[in-house]
Each structure stands twice: as C-alpha cells, then as structure tokens.
Amino acid sequence: MLTIGKLGEAAGVKVPTIRYYEQIGLLPEAERSAGNQRLYGRKAMERLAFIRHARDLGFTLEAIRDLLSLSDRPDQSCAAADAIARAQLAEIESRLARLTALKAELERMVVQCAGGKIADCRVIEVLGDHSLCATDHRYPESEVPS
C-alpha cells in the first residue's frame, strides 16, 4: 500500500490532483490507515497512471471518465473508446491547423518588422488591427488561452 505522497511520486501527479480526482470520482476513495492516512493499492496506481497518460494526450476529464467506465467493462466492444479517441484526434488536428496559422502569421509579422522605432513597428501595428493579418487564426471564444 502506498500513501498519497508515494502514489503521487510514483505516478508523477501532485497530491492535490489526486485528491481532486477522488473528489470528482475518477479515483475511488482511498482506504484509510488506523491513523486516517490515505492508502492506495496497485489498482489505484494503475488507474492514476491511466488518467495521467490520458491527460498527457489531451483528453478532457469527461472523456477520461467515459474511457475509465469502458475499461471497467472489458467484454464490451471497443467502438465507444475508438470514437472517443477519434474525436480527440480531430481536436488535435484542429489545434495543429490553428497553431500552424498562428506560426505563419507570427513569422510574417516578424519578417515585415523593419526593426526601427515602435511608431513604425509592424508587430505592434498588426496586433492592433486584426484585419492586417493574412489568415483568420482567432480562437473560438470558449478556447481563448488564459
């Protein structure tokens, strides 16, 4: 059995994150020692590793919940898991296209910058007027990075 700290260390996940995953039901509640310390077994470690890997691949917590639910029923068809992975792949492809457009726009801005004074700076000018951009690379309002 592992304490929460040892589990986090082994899985590369911070303790507050483990507690959060328990709170939202991705991880089952831990057993408790006589001193009320959380204790985790091999199954919890495997589940946490699954969650961590899925997060590394960009899956949302809701998609991970669905995938975990599917993994708890191994005799079921994997069509639902495949659909979730395909949706994630489509999202990644969309982000890559957006990032490629952003990269191209930034390269264009930098090349056009004469390196003179701010008053003549193409970077500042383009950032102030989106209509000067070559492509529409805006994020949907719900995805604007913070």
Three-class SS state of 39: strand
Amino acid 19: pLDDT: 94
Burial 45-69 (b: 16+ CB within 10 A, else e): eebbebbbebeeeebeeebbbbbbe
Amino acid 119: pLDDT: 76
Give the DSSP letter of residue 119. G
Q: What is the pLDDT along the chain (146 residues), one digit of tens a residue?
A: 999 999 999 999 999 999 999 999 999 988 898 888 889 999 999 999 999 999 999 999 999 999 999 998 989 899 999 999 999 999 999 999 999 988 988 888 888 776 777 777 878 888 888 887 777 766 666 565 55
Identify the CA nearest to 51 among candidates 8, 86, 92, 96.
8
The pTM (predicted TM-score) of the whole model is 0.75
The token pair that represents 15 in the structure block: 């303790």
Amino acid 96: pLDDT: 94
Name 127's Cβ contacts closer than 8 Å, sequence gap at least 6.
Answer: 109
